[in-house]
Structure 1
């Protein structure tokens, strides 16, 4: 099977690429390297330095003739989406439509789309399942949900099989620790560099952290199953930021204490996603425990910091 992974030089995308190659797939990567890193690209793939919103994307698909596309490329910074909603929409919405048009013209059989827990907004109940009301709190969440509608339309009208995967908080090696990087990557970077990690608010807010390798295996499974489904990809469990800090402090044998800062406007207090439907539809389950994932992540940053 030939698969194109957009955003394949990024954190999650590069792990998906590695998993596909290990499964014997032929893989091509499309990435503009705006946030992805060239060193993340597996040397066994064909790489195309292209923006998803550019017309050249169609030329790439015409050349590769993939059986499926896994669409990971996106503007993922919530704060940037608030400051630059037009840029967010150009990449996340128009870029996705451009990709779907290229898939239609080139008879791509399956599109797997990386959505987000951000589409749900503030949880009305926990765990959040796929029937939860959609009330995104940012242009980023709105852009992610908008594309879900386009996927349904392209499936119904043009016969392209689709699966939407709504990720919880993904963590693991290669995650960007700068700027709005995930809290695990930020904590790892600060612990290993002798800097006190910052906790916004009282630290009792909870999140659902899933290891990136488990996200990659869900994407692999979705190539063959889950057609027409919208599925949460998560652990179905939660942990407080304070407890996350304690575990990482122990794993690094660090004497550092957290620096508590004022809560960030718009932050959701508690969130975790039910994953029952993904387990059933994809015959999938998360296999890497939080502690094991944290160990692997810390080891990656130890090497990176040398």
Structure 2
């Protein structure tokens, strides 16, 4: 198949592109290189340095005639969405509308969209892990823009028959990661360890639902193949690891005693958000295969170049 991966030079995209190439697909990467790096893109891919916000992406995608689109390009942090809601909306909503217009005008068979746990908001503590049927109640412009895109996908399917799959991702970590976003805490901690700096835990340490990027890439590939379309799936570990436990695991895999300080809780003390991935297990045949310890070892090896 001929596949377009928007945001393919980024963190998750780098894993998805490699997964697709390993299966023999023809892959084109579209990325504006603002946070992604084309050095991460294998030579076997065609690379387009473009911004999804530009109307110029529509005729270029139409001309290329893709079978599938994996749409990962986005503004990805809650903090940036609060600081600049207009940029968040342009990148995440208008950028996606451009992709959907190109897709429906060129008979793309399927669009797989990377949504986020932020669409659920904080989530009820007594109803976790959270299933896809949970009411969406985003608490940030980032979560709102992701929810809005989900609604656009539903409308495009209803009006034009464009098939989609929404994947709501938990806290993704792994190779090529930056220290932004929810899963970015791992990248941030690893960089501090490499620099010999201490680590700060805020309050009691929030629980995270960490899922390895390679497993997410497997889930995205399963979403491209499944007959169970026009629906949403959580991709997650289904379990929570608090920050203190994460530090202990990092000490275990790095063989280093880390200097840890405790900061004021503030906004860092938000409750845990654990996603239920049972639907993805049943309908996609997907499961998170990489343990947090194994995933941390792979991530550290990438950053340090050492086993």
> Shorter chain as normaliser: what TM range?
over 0.9
Instruction: Check if 1:116 corresponds to 2:116.
Output: yes
Alignment map for 1:247-262 (pairs within 5 Å): 247-262=249-264
SS in 1 for 2:166: strand
- Mean Cα deviation higher: 82-91 or 35-44: 35-44
Task: Report what 1:201 is aligned to.
Answer: 203
Q: Number of aligned pairs?
A: 303
Instruction: Check if 1:219 corresponds to 2:220.
Output: yes
Task: Name the CA distance, whole Å, in 1 between partners of 2:268 and 2:198.
Answer: 24
Task: Name the CA distance, whole Å, in 1 between partners of 2:11 and 2:268.
Answer: 25
SS in 2 for 1:295: helix
Instruction: Check if 1:39 corresponds to 2:39.
Output: yes
1:256: Cα distance to partner?
2.1
Q: 4+ residue runs of structure 1 moved beyond 3 angstroms? A: 178-181
Instruction: Check if 1:107 corresponds to 2:107.
Output: yes
Instruction: Check if 1:13 corresponds to 2:13.
Output: yes
Question: Which residues of structure 1 form unaligned runs of 5+?
Answer: none
SS in 1 for 2:238: coil
Task: Name the CA distance, whole Å, in 2 between partners of 1:48 and 1:128.
Answer: 37
Task: Report what 1:177 is aligned to.
Answer: 179
Question: Which residues of structure 2 form unaligned runs of 5+?
Answer: none
1:224: Cα distance to partner?
1.5
Q: Summarize deviations over 1:40-66 as a string: whole Å, max 9, x none.
A: 111110001110111111122123210
Instruction: Check if 1:155 corresponds to 2:172.
Output: no
TM-score, with normalisation over the residues of structure 2? 0.95
Q: Summarize deviations over 1:130-156 as a string: whole Å, max 9, x none.
A: 111211111000000000000011111
Conserved 8 A contact 2:171-2:183 = no
Alignment map for 1:89-100 (pairs within 5 Å): 89-100=89-100
Task: Report what 1:269 is aligned to.
Answer: 271
Task: Report what 1:59 is aligned to.
Answer: 59
1:264: Cα distance to partner?
3.7
1:267: Cα distance to partner?
4.9
Go from structure 1 to structure 2 and tell me whether the alpha carbon gap of 1:93 and 1:128 turns closer, same or farther (over 3 Å shift): same
Conserved 8 A contact 2:164-2:231 = yes
1:77: Cα distance to partner?
1.7
SS in 2 for 1:265: helix
SS in 1 for 2:157: helix
